[in-house]
Copies of this chain bind each other. A is one copy, B any other.
Amino acid sequence: MQIRDATAADWPGIWAVMEPIIRAGDSYTLDPASSEDQLRAHWLHKNDDGGTGPRASRTFVVTEETGGTSAPMVVATAELHPNYGGGGSHVANAGFMVHPNHFGKGYARALAYHVLDAARAAGYTGMVFNAVVETNAAAIGLWEALGFEILATIPEAFQHPRDGLVGLHVMYKSLLDSP
């Protein structure tokens, strides 16, 4: 397993991870019918004004050796960006996706540590998740294990395809504490 910054050449691999997750519509507040172009712009921060400072948006991939002569395969991805502009630009937001075929291998946790370290190195003092689907127990369990707290739940804010109307958690972790 390798974790590194994504390059433009990684997009097909990233898309293979993202597409089933977005199309399922059960974990991200993104339109499941979004086009590949829209999601590429979103995940690779094509429309960000952020520029090139220490808190410029970043995208990461986890790759796995496939054996033989094939290139390593993207099995998970994350992105990191300021959650707010202006006076709030020292608080980060991040998104994480692991391909369903590669759940349970520890990739989400390893990637989360990597992104939290990158956020601290960029000078962010905290990280917020704005909309964690309340029934996404695997994600919430991981975030809580990493020190995130549920600060609030926006009631009935998410129409889950199987669970019906559920809340969206706002989760927060200070990056000034111990990792």
Q: A31-B49, A47-B47, A151-B170 are in contact. Are A125 and B87 (CB under 8 A)?
A: no
> What is the distance, in angstroms, from A48's C-beta to the closest C-beta of chain B?
11
CB-CB under 8 A from A156, the residues of chain B are 125-126
Q: Interface size for chain A: under 10, 10 to 19, 20 to 34, or 35 or more residues? A: 35 or more
CB-CB under 8 A from A174, the residues of chain B are 155
**A86-B153 in contact (CB<8A):** no
Q: Give complex CA distance A167, B89 in Å.
A: 13
Q: Give complex CA distance A69, B170 in Å.
A: 51
**B31-A86 in contact (CB<8A):** yes
A32 within 8 A of B: yes
A67 within 8 A of B: no
**Which one of B34, B85, B91 lies within 8 Å of A154 (CB-CB)?**
B91
Q: Give complex CA distance A26, B88 in Å.
A: 10
Proximity bits, A48-84, B CB within 8 Å = 1, else 0? 0100000000000000000000000000000000001
A159 within 8 A of B: yes
Between A28, A34, A88, A153, the greatest number of chain B beta carbons within 10 A of the residue's beta carbon is seen for A88
Q: Give complex CA distance A89, B85 in Å.
A: 22
Between A32, A87, A151, A155, the greatest number of chain B beta carbons within 10 A of the residue's beta carbon is seen for A87
CB-CB under 8 A from A139, the residues of chain B are none
The 3 closest A-B pairs by CB, nearest first: A152-B152, A29-B84, A151-B152
Chain A residues near B (Cβ < 8 Å)? 25-26, 28-32, 34, 38, 47, 49, 84-91, 125-126, 128, 130-131, 133, 151-161, 168, 170, 172, 174
